[in-house]
């Protein structure tokens, strides 16, 4: 799969072409395989390294292990030690369609939005993941409202 065939979120549009920031689909894969990749690592990678991390599959147990190995090998090309491990959540909140995380509802109310359970369930796992990441306490949440609008959860402003 080439990078032009992938779908990126509109709220990522300002950096997708250059991949100067880690896109949500890579962040999703990193959480899936249990690697804490820092922006400092990402910024050292070549464009082809970044594109490979975007396009490489990470869905099956074999692909997840392969992705993890690839990430760590790439980090070691540019750093003296591997990236830190992340605990892998056996039941991540973005895969649960029967409960909306409190942080997401709290953040949504700041923008005058209440997300209904059926709306949450209708989102793709990557969209739910993005909302989880963009609603974390202490995180710069400036793209949260753009994600709400993009995912059809809020009318345009």
Whole-number pLDDT of residue 61: 96
Strand partners, 83: none
Closest C-alpha to 153, from 103, 99, 117, 101: 117
Cα torsion for 58, 81, 50, 148, to the nearest 10°?
70
pLDDT in tens, 45-70: 999 999 999 999 999 999 999 999 99
pLDDT for 4: 45
- Kindly write down the DSSP assignment for every residue of 71-133, as one continuous string: HHHHHHHHSSSPPEE-PPPSS-GGG-SS---HHHHHHHHHTT----HHHHHHS-HHHHHHHHH
pTM summary value? 0.90
How many whole angstroms separate alpha carbon 19 and alpha carbon 14? 9
Residues of the chain whose pLDDT is less than 70? 1-7, 139-140, 155-157
What's the pLDDT at 17? 73
Domain boundary assignment for the chain: 7-85, 93-150
Provide the pLDDT for residue 133.
Answer: 94
């Amino acid at each position: 799969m080439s990078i032009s065939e992938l779908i990126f979120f509109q709220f990522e549009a300002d950096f997708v072409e250059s991949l100067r920031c880690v896109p949500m689909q890579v962040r999703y894969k990193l959480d899936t395989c249990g690697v804490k990749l820092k922006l400092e690592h990402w910024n050292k990678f070549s464009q082809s390294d970044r594109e490979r991390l975007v396009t490489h599959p990470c869905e099956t147990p074999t692909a997840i292990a392969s992705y993890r190995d690839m990430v760590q090998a790439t980090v070691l090309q540019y750093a003296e030690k591997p990236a830190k491990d992340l605990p892998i959540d056996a039941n991540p909140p973005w895969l649960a369609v029967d409960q909306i995380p409190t942080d997401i509802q709290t953040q949504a109310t700041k923008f005058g939005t209440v997300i209904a359970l059926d709306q949450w369930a209708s989102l793709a796992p990557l969209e739910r993941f993005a909302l989880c990441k963009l609603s974390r306490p202490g995180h710069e949440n400036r793209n949260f409202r753009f994600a709400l609008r993009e995912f059809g959860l809020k009318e345009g402003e």
